[in-house]
């Protein structure tokens, strides 16, 4: 992790980060517990759960990639361990909520075509761009210059 040049500032950053992790993480449990107790997801917005899984998955990919990049960790504002932990935790709990949609009573509710189409479009574009970068890397041995990190 990049040095803050201040031990009190670094400690404050860590403490506030883990408090934020705890606060945001707690917010996922009431819905999971309610669904489990009722054995029903009637009233839960399925579009929200699907879009939330896409959001948190994207955030997790971003955090994990940057956290394990020595260039980012040593030269820019680093991604903290609590950011990575939260994003992984959010994906797991949102996936559990999605799983509950499949196993519990849901009534006539279903995911809208719009939400499904949007998620397919987002992941399709991500797969396309990732494939192009991968193929370019295979051919040239490096990423295109526009995607390289510019050091200050």
Close Cβ partners of 76 (under 8 Å, ≥ 6 residues apart): 2
**5-40 pLDDT tens trace:** 788 988 998 999 999 999 999 999 999 999 999 999
Q: With 70 as the cut, is the pLDDT of residue 145 above it?
A: no
Torsion angles phi and psi, residue 79, rounded to 5: -85, 130
Three-state DSSP state, 105: strand
pLDDT tier for residue 142 given thresholds of 50, 70 and 90: low
Whether the CB-CB separation of 148 and 133 falls below 8 Å is answered with no
| Closest residue by Cα to residue 51 from 121, 136, 148, 132 | 121
Whether the CB-CB separation of 95 and 53 falls below 8 Å is answered with yes
Q: Confirm whether pTM is higher than 0.75.
A: yes
Supply the pLDDT for residue 29.
Answer: 98
Supply the pLDDT for residue 151.
Answer: 45
Most confident of the following: 10-14, 69-73, 107-111: 107-111
Structural domains of the chain in order of their starting residue, each with its CATH number:
7-109 (1.20.1280.290)
């Amino acid at each position: 992790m990049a040095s803050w040049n201040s031990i009190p500032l670094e400690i404050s950053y860590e403490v506030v980060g883990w408090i934020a992790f705890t606060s945001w993480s707690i917010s996922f449990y009431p819905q999971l517990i309610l669904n489990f107790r009722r054995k029903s997801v009637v009233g839960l917005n399925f579009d929200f759960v699907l879009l939330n899984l896409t959001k948190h998955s994207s955030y997790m990919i971003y955090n994990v990639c940057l956290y394990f990049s020595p260039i980012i960790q040593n030269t820019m504002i680093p991604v903290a361990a609590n950011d990575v932990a939260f994003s992984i935790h959010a994906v797991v709990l949102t996936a559990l909520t999605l799983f509950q949609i499949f196993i519990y009573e849901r009534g006539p509710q279903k995911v809208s075509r719009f939400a499904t189409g949007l998620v397919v479009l987002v992941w399709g574009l991500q797969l396309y761009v990732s494939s192009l970068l991968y193929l370019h890397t295979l051919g040239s041995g490096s990423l295109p210059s526009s995607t390289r990190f510019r050091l200050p």
